[in-house]
A and B are shown apart, each in its own frame.
Chain A
Protein backbone atom coordinates (compact mmCIF):
# COMPACT_ATOMS: atom_id res chain seq x y z
CA UNK A 1 0.00 0.00 0.00
CA UNK A 2 1.09 3.58 -0.56
CA UNK A 3 3.11 5.13 2.26
CA UNK A 4 1.77 8.66 1.97
CA UNK A 5 -1.85 9.55 2.59
CA UNK A 6 -2.91 13.13 1.90
CA UNK A 7 -5.80 14.89 3.54
CA UNK A 8 -8.17 16.32 2.43
CA UNK A 9 -8.70 14.66 -0.96
CA UNK A 10 -10.02 17.90 -2.40
CA UNK A 11 -9.94 21.51 -1.29
CA UNK A 12 -11.69 24.55 -2.73
CA UNK A 13 -10.81 28.03 -1.52
CA UNK A 14 -11.10 31.66 -2.58
CA UNK A 15 -8.15 33.49 -4.06
CA UNK A 16 -6.16 35.17 -1.29
CA UNK A 17 -6.99 32.54 1.33
CA UNK A 18 -4.46 30.10 2.74
CA UNK A 19 -4.53 26.42 1.77
CA UNK A 20 -3.39 23.73 4.19
CA UNK A 21 -2.79 20.17 3.06
CA UNK A 22 -1.73 17.26 5.24
CA UNK A 23 0.19 14.07 4.64
CA UNK A 24 0.69 11.06 6.89
CA UNK A 25 3.10 8.21 6.35
CA UNK A 26 3.92 4.89 7.96
CA UNK A 27 7.64 4.13 8.07
CA UNK A 28 10.84 6.00 8.91
CA UNK A 29 12.02 8.39 6.23
CA UNK A 30 15.11 10.25 5.04
CA UNK A 31 13.03 13.14 3.80
CA UNK A 32 9.56 14.12 2.64
CA UNK A 33 8.85 16.04 -0.55
CA UNK A 34 5.87 17.89 -2.00
CA UNK A 35 5.09 18.01 -5.71
CA UNK A 36 2.53 19.86 -7.81
CA UNK A 37 0.86 18.50 -10.94
CA UNK A 38 -1.12 20.64 -13.32
CA UNK A 39 -3.81 18.84 -15.29
CA UNK A 40 -2.38 16.47 -17.85
CA UNK A 41 1.23 17.35 -17.07
CA UNK A 42 4.18 15.88 -15.20
CA UNK A 43 4.93 16.60 -11.57
CA UNK A 44 7.01 19.56 -10.45
CA UNK A 45 9.11 19.38 -7.29
CA UNK A 46 8.14 22.09 -4.79
CA UNK A 47 10.02 21.55 -1.56
CA UNK A 48 11.95 18.93 0.39
CA UNK A 49 12.19 18.64 4.16
CA UNK A 50 14.68 16.33 5.80
CA UNK A 51 13.84 14.07 8.72
CA UNK A 52 15.90 16.23 11.11
CA UNK A 53 14.09 19.42 10.09
CA UNK A 54 10.81 20.62 11.55
CA UNK A 55 9.88 23.52 9.29
CA UNK A 56 10.94 24.90 5.95
CA UNK A 57 9.89 27.87 3.83
CA UNK A 58 10.07 28.59 0.14
CA UNK A 59 8.30 31.71 -1.09
CA UNK A 60 4.61 31.30 -0.27
CA UNK A 61 5.13 27.68 0.78
CA UNK A 62 5.62 26.49 4.33
CA UNK A 63 6.19 22.84 5.12
CA UNK A 64 6.26 21.25 8.56
CA UNK A 65 7.32 17.77 9.52
CA UNK A 66 6.52 15.89 12.72
CA UNK A 67 8.40 12.60 12.67
CA UNK A 68 6.90 11.50 15.99
CA UNK A 69 3.43 11.67 14.43
CA UNK A 70 4.68 10.68 10.99
CA UNK A 71 2.93 13.62 9.42
CA UNK A 72 3.63 16.70 7.35
CA UNK A 73 1.67 19.73 6.28
CA UNK A 74 1.98 22.06 3.32
CA UNK A 75 0.70 25.60 3.69
CA UNK A 76 0.24 27.83 0.66
CA UNK A 77 -0.31 31.40 1.74
CA UNK A 78 -2.20 34.06 -0.22
CA UNK A 79 -3.35 31.53 -2.81
CA UNK A 80 -3.75 32.45 -6.46
CA UNK A 81 -5.86 30.95 -9.23
CA UNK A 82 -2.60 29.66 -10.74
CA UNK A 83 -2.12 27.46 -7.66
CA UNK A 84 -5.02 25.29 -8.87
CA UNK A 85 -3.45 21.85 -9.31
CA UNK A 86 -3.03 18.46 -7.65
CA UNK A 87 -0.50 18.27 -4.84
CA UNK A 88 1.33 15.08 -3.86
CA UNK A 89 3.49 14.26 -0.91
CA UNK A 90 6.27 11.78 -1.48
CA UNK A 91 8.40 10.05 1.10
CA UNK A 92 11.95 8.82 0.73
CA UNK A 93 11.85 5.80 3.07
CA UNK A 94 15.08 4.79 4.76
CA UNK A 95 16.66 1.94 2.86
CA UNK A 96 14.62 2.51 -0.28
CA UNK A 97 17.67 3.79 -2.21
CA UNK A 98 16.13 6.76 -4.02
CA UNK A 99 12.71 5.23 -4.71
CA UNK A 100 10.02 7.68 -3.61
CA UNK A 101 6.56 6.62 -2.48
CA UNK A 102 3.82 9.00 -3.59
CA UNK A 103 0.46 9.61 -1.97
CA UNK A 104 -2.85 9.78 -3.81
CA UNK A 105 -2.79 13.54 -4.15
CA UNK A 106 -4.96 16.49 -3.13
CA UNK A 107 -6.91 18.47 -5.70
CA UNK A 108 -6.76 22.18 -4.90
CA UNK A 109 -9.12 24.58 -6.63
CA UNK A 110 -8.57 28.30 -6.10
CA UNK A 111 -11.57 30.38 -7.16
CA UNK A 112 -10.76 33.82 -8.59
Chain B
Protein backbone atom coordinates (compact mmCIF):
# COMPACT_ATOMS: atom_id res chain seq x y z
CA UNK B 1 0.00 0.00 0.00
CA UNK B 2 1.43 3.35 -1.06
CA UNK B 3 2.03 5.96 1.64
CA UNK B 4 0.73 8.89 -0.31
CA UNK B 5 -2.23 10.91 0.85
CA UNK B 6 -4.53 13.44 -0.72
CA UNK B 7 -7.04 15.71 0.95
CA UNK B 8 -9.81 16.43 0.53
CA UNK B 9 -11.14 13.37 -1.31
CA UNK B 10 -14.16 15.29 -2.57
CA UNK B 11 -14.67 19.04 -2.87
CA UNK B 12 -17.64 20.99 -4.18
CA UNK B 13 -16.97 24.71 -4.36
CA UNK B 14 -18.38 27.80 -6.01
CA UNK B 15 -16.87 29.72 -8.89
CA UNK B 16 -14.19 32.22 -7.95
CA UNK B 17 -13.06 30.53 -4.75
CA UNK B 18 -9.42 29.83 -4.02
CA UNK B 19 -8.65 26.19 -3.28
CA UNK B 20 -5.63 24.14 -2.30
CA UNK B 21 -5.44 20.41 -2.89
CA UNK B 22 -3.06 18.71 -0.48
CA UNK B 23 -0.69 15.86 -1.31
CA UNK B 24 1.78 14.26 1.08
CA UNK B 25 3.99 11.20 0.88
CA UNK B 26 6.04 9.50 3.57
CA UNK B 27 8.31 7.47 1.29
CA UNK B 28 10.98 10.16 0.96
CA UNK B 29 10.57 10.27 -2.83
CA UNK B 30 12.22 13.19 -4.59
CA UNK B 31 9.90 13.16 -7.60
CA UNK B 32 6.25 14.14 -7.38
CA UNK B 33 3.56 14.70 -9.98
CA UNK B 34 0.04 16.10 -10.42
CA UNK B 35 -2.27 14.63 -13.04
CA UNK B 36 -5.71 15.70 -14.18
CA UNK B 37 -8.13 12.99 -15.25
CA UNK B 38 -11.67 13.42 -16.53
CA UNK B 39 -14.04 10.46 -16.02
CA UNK B 40 -13.12 7.51 -18.22
CA UNK B 41 -10.27 9.45 -19.76
CA UNK B 42 -6.52 9.41 -19.91
CA UNK B 43 -4.24 11.07 -17.40
CA UNK B 44 -2.72 14.42 -18.25
CA UNK B 45 0.42 15.59 -16.45
CA UNK B 46 -0.08 19.17 -15.26
CA UNK B 47 2.84 19.69 -12.85
CA UNK B 48 5.89 17.84 -11.60
CA UNK B 49 8.78 18.33 -9.23
CA UNK B 50 12.21 16.73 -9.02
CA UNK B 51 12.84 17.90 -5.47
CA UNK B 52 12.58 20.74 -3.01
CA UNK B 53 12.25 24.15 -4.71
CA UNK B 54 11.90 22.49 -8.13
CA UNK B 55 8.60 22.71 -10.02
CA UNK B 56 7.81 22.39 -13.70
CA UNK B 57 4.69 22.61 -15.83
CA UNK B 58 3.51 19.42 -17.43
CA UNK B 59 2.18 18.55 -20.85
CA UNK B 60 -1.31 19.93 -20.25
CA UNK B 61 -1.63 23.65 -19.68
CA UNK B 62 -3.20 24.36 -16.32
CA UNK B 63 -4.17 27.53 -14.46
CA UNK B 64 -3.12 25.89 -11.20
CA UNK B 65 0.17 26.43 -9.41
CA UNK B 66 2.25 24.17 -7.17
CA UNK B 67 4.97 24.52 -4.57
CA UNK B 68 7.55 22.15 -3.12
CA UNK B 69 8.97 23.56 0.09
CA UNK B 70 9.31 20.17 1.79
CA UNK B 71 10.16 16.82 0.24
CA UNK B 72 6.99 15.19 1.50
CA UNK B 73 4.51 17.91 0.56
CA UNK B 74 3.34 19.01 -2.92
CA UNK B 75 0.17 21.13 -2.75
CA UNK B 76 -1.72 22.36 -5.80
CA UNK B 77 -3.53 25.73 -5.72
CA UNK B 78 -6.23 27.24 -7.89
CA UNK B 79 -6.51 30.98 -7.24
CA UNK B 80 -9.98 31.30 -8.76
CA UNK B 81 -11.90 28.11 -9.44
CA UNK B 82 -14.06 27.82 -12.56
CA UNK B 83 -16.48 25.10 -13.76
CA UNK B 84 -13.86 24.09 -16.37
CA UNK B 85 -11.63 23.01 -13.46
CA UNK B 86 -14.10 20.27 -12.53
CA UNK B 87 -12.11 17.05 -12.72
CA UNK B 88 -10.27 14.39 -10.74
CA UNK B 89 -6.78 15.40 -9.59
CA UNK B 90 -4.27 12.64 -8.89
CA UNK B 91 -0.98 13.09 -7.06
CA UNK B 92 1.89 10.63 -7.47
CA UNK B 93 5.49 10.19 -6.38
CA UNK B 94 8.41 8.08 -7.59
CA UNK B 95 12.00 7.16 -7.00
CA UNK B 96 14.29 5.07 -9.11
CA UNK B 97 13.97 1.36 -8.33
CA UNK B 98 13.90 -0.86 -11.39
CA UNK B 99 12.45 2.15 -13.19
CA UNK B 100 10.44 5.15 -12.09
CA UNK B 101 7.34 3.30 -10.88
CA UNK B 102 4.82 5.84 -9.68
CA UNK B 103 2.80 5.58 -6.49
CA UNK B 104 -0.56 7.32 -6.59
CA UNK B 105 -2.76 8.88 -3.97
CA UNK B 106 -6.51 8.20 -3.95
CA UNK B 107 -7.30 11.41 -5.82
CA UNK B 108 -9.38 14.51 -5.18
CA UNK B 109 -12.62 14.85 -7.11
CA UNK B 110 -13.25 18.57 -7.59
CA UNK B 111 -16.57 20.00 -8.67
CA UNK B 112 -16.86 23.74 -9.30
CA UNK B 113 -20.41 25.03 -9.48
Q: Scan residues 55-112 of chain A and give those whose CB is less than 8 A from a CB of chain B.
A: 86, 88, 90, 92, 97-100, 102-105, 107
Residue of A nearest to B104 (CB): A42
* B contacts with A, residue count (CB < 8 A): 30
Residue of A nearest to B97 (CB): A48
- Known contacts A40-B107, A42-B92, A99-B48; 15 additional CB pairs below 8 A are A30-B99, A31-B99, A33-B99, A33-B101, A42-B105, A43-B102, A45-B102, A48-B101, A88-B43, A98-B100, A99-B45, A100-B102, A104-B42, A105-B40, A105-B41
Interface string of B23-53 (1 = CB under 8 A from A): 0000000010101000011110100101000
- Asked if A44 meets B101 with Cβ closer than 8 Å, knowing A99-B45, A102-B43, the reply is no
- Any A CB within 8 A of the CB of B98: yes
- Any B CB within 8 A of the CB of A50: yes
Q: Which chain A residues lie closer than 8 Å to B103 at the CB level?
A: 45
- Asked if A104 meets B104 with Cβ closer than 8 Å, knowing A30-B99, A48-B99, A98-B31, the reply is no
Q: Which chain B residues lie closer than 8 Å to A41 at the CB level?
A: 106-107
User: A50 and B106: CB pair below 8 A?
Assistant: no
Q: Which chain A residues lie closer than 8 Å to B41 at the CB level?
A: 104-105
Docked CA distance A90–B33 (Å): 14
Q: Which chain A residues lie closer than 8 Å to B90 at the CB level?
A: 42-43
* A contacts with B, residue count (CB < 8 A): 26
* Contact among A40, A45, A104 for B101, CB-based, below 8 A: A45
User: B107 and A42: CB pair below 8 A?
Assistant: yes
User: B109 and A50: CB pair below 8 A?
Assistant: no
User: B102 and A105: CB pair below 8 A?
Assistant: no
Q: List 22 A-B contacts (CB under 8 A).
A: A31-B98, A33-B99, A35-B102, A40-B88, A41-B107, A42-B4, A42-B92, A42-B104, A42-B105, A42-B106, A43-B102, A50-B98, A88-B43, A92-B100, A98-B50, A99-B45, A102-B42, A102-B43, A104-B42, A105-B40, A105-B41, A107-B40
Q: Which chain B residues lie closer than 8 Å to A107 at the CB level?
A: 40
- Any A CB within 8 A of the CB of B87: no
Docked CA distance A32–B92 (Å): 17
